[in-house]
């Protein structure tokens, strides 16, 4: 039972089982969900709660699934969800911000510049989650600067 719950959490109810580009598609689905939930009102407190739940749940679920699935398998996508949500948190909820956030997040997540590759080496669930959290933070900082200088 425990691994079935951990599996559901790690794959975000199976979205990680998409056969083509599960990380990219999961990031996109995460951005769309964020947009649908927060487009009317930002609800900052709820944003914080969701991010904390996904990061801590991701660490727990990933730790549980590593023995069965190996270290950082593509089926684990809760890290993409958490990272994407960090990338677009506390920003205007618009399709422009979502689109630019998605592209920037994927670039940081795939290429892992600026020390992101280093945090990926953490052990177990921490390593699985840390690189996406870092990619999300870098993306958010850039988007904060962009939204203050570019009219969207």
Q: What are the pLDDT digits (tens) for 58-109? A: 999 999 999 999 888 999 999 999 999 999 999 999 999 999 999 999 999 9
**Pairwise CA distance, residues 13 & 123, whole Å:** 24
Q: How confident is the model at residue 120, as a pLDDT?
A: 77
Q: How confident is the model at residue 151, as a pLDDT?
A: 66
pTM reported for the whole predicted model: 0.94
- Output the CA torsion sign for 18, 20, 22, 26: negative
């Amino acid at each position: 039972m425990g691994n079935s719950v951990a599996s559901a959490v790690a794959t975000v109810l199976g979205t990680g089982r998409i056969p083509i580009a599960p990380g990219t598609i999961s990031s996109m689905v995460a951005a769309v969900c964020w947009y649908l939930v927060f487009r009317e009102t930002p609800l900052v407190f709820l944003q914080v709660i969701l991010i904390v739940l996904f990061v801590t749940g991701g660490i727990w679920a990933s730790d549980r699934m590593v023995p069965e699935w190996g270290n950082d398998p593509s089926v684990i996508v809760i890290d993409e969800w958490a990272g994407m949500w960090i990338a677009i948190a506390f920003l205007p909820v618009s399709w422009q911000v979502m689109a630019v956030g998605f592209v920037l997040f994927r670039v940081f997540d795939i290429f892992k510049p600026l020390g992101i590759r280093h945090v990926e080496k953490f052990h177990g669930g921490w390593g699985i989650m840390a690189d996406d959290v870092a990619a999300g933070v870098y993306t958010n900082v850039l988007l904060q600067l962009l939204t203050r200088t570019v009219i969207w």
